[in-house]
Amino acid sequence: MRFLCLHGMGTNPRILEAQIGLLRAQLPGSHEFVYLPGEVECDAAQGVLTIYPGPYLCYYDLPTADQVADAHDLVLTFIEDEGPFDAVIGFSQGAALASSVMLRRAKDPSLEPLFQLAIFICASLPFDLDAPPVVVDKAPGGRLKFLNAAAADGGREIPQSSVGAQSLIQELHSQGYGGMLKDGMHILRRFHLRTQPGGKFNMGVPTVNIVGKKDGYFQQGLSLAELGGSRGTVILDHGAGHEVPRDVLSVRKMTRVVQDAVEKVGFQC
C-alpha cells in the first residue's frame, strides 16, 4: 500500500518520518510512505527545535482562502505527479489538510475518492474553502472580533460565545496566529456539523482517528471522526497530548487499528 504522508505545522517530512517510525516498523507487509513537504516556512513546533533540524514547514501559516487553496493545489498536483496513493496519513495540520481536500472533493459525486483509507493523528478540524469566510475586526485596543462576510448578514459580529467564534479563537491563538492577523483579513471556517447544520459532509472512505485526551485538539479530532466515511470510522484514544504515541502499548494498539483498516480496505477492493 502506498501512503501519502502530510506533516504537522512547524515540522517537516524528516520529523514526521521519525514520529511514525515505530508504526511503520510494526506494520506487517510491504508499504511505501511518500512525504510531501509544506511550502511555507514557519516557527518550529513546540519541543522540536532542540531535537530536529529545520527548515520548519507548514502548508499554510494562516487559514486564509488563498493559503488554504494553495495547499489544496499542492496536494492535488503532487497526487497527479507522484500518485496514485492508496491511503493518506496526516498528523495535526497535515490531517486537517488531507481531510479538507477529501471533503471538498466528496462534494462532487462524479469524482472518485483520492484514497481508499485515511489515517488522522491528533487532527484539528479542516477548513472549508467553499463556506463564507469570516472577516477579522481588530479593534485598536487589541480585542479580536469576527464579522460574517456574507452580504446577507450585513457584516454583523459573530457572538464571542458561539461555537464558530470559539473554535476560530482557539485556532488563531493556539497556533500563534493572533499577532499575524490584520484588520479586514478573511479567515476560513471549519467543516463542523454543529456550526453548519444540515451540512452533508462525508469523505466516503474508512478513517482511523487517533486522538489524545490531553490534546488541546481532542474534541476537534472527535468531531473530525463524525465527518468520516460511510464504510467505517475507528477512534483510538492514546491518552496523551498532541503527539504521535511512542510507548509500547499505544504503538501496539495504533498498529492494530491501522492494520485492521488496511486489511478491510484490501478485502473490499
Range from 83-92, 229-238, 260-269 that averages highest in pLDDT: 83-92
Q: Kindly indicate the confidence band of residue 268, based on its pLDDT and cuts at 50, 70 and 90.
A: low
pTM for the structure as a whole: 0.88
Give the start-to-end residue ranges of the domains of the chain: 2-128+194-268, 134-187
Mean pLDDT of the chain: 85
Tell me the pLDDT tens digit for each residue of 139-185: 666 566 666 665 444 555 555 455 555 556 555 655 555 556 777 78
CA angle 70/78/19 to nearest 5° reads 95
Write out the catalytic residue numbers.
Answer: 92, 215, 242
Confidence of residue 133 (pLDDT cuts 50, 70, 90): confident
Quick one: cell of 94?
Answer: 497535515
For residue 234, which phi and psi values (nearest 5 degrees)?
-120, 135
d(CA 245, CA 22): 9
Mean pLDDT over residues 216-229, rounded?
86
Q: Which residues contact 172 (CB under 8 A, 6 or more apart)?
A: 144, 178, 181, 187
Q: What is the mean pLDDT of residues 245-256?
A: 94
pLDDT confidence bin for 200, thresholds 50/70/90: low
pLDDT over 90 at 80, yes or no: yes
Per DSSP, the residues of 22-90 read HHHHHS-S--EEEEE--SEE-PPPTTTTTTS-S--EES-SS-BHHHHHHHHHHHHHHHHHH---SEEEE
Return the C-alpha cell found at 223. Answer: 468531531
Helices and strands counted in the chain (H then E): 7, 11
Whole-number Å distance between alpha carbons of 99 and 126: 6
> According to the CATH classification, is domain 2-128+194-268 in 3.90.320.10?
no
* pLDDT value of position 164: 56
Residues ≥6 apart with Cβ < 8 Å to 226: 193, 233
Q: Which residue has the higher pLDDT, 168 or 215?
A: 215
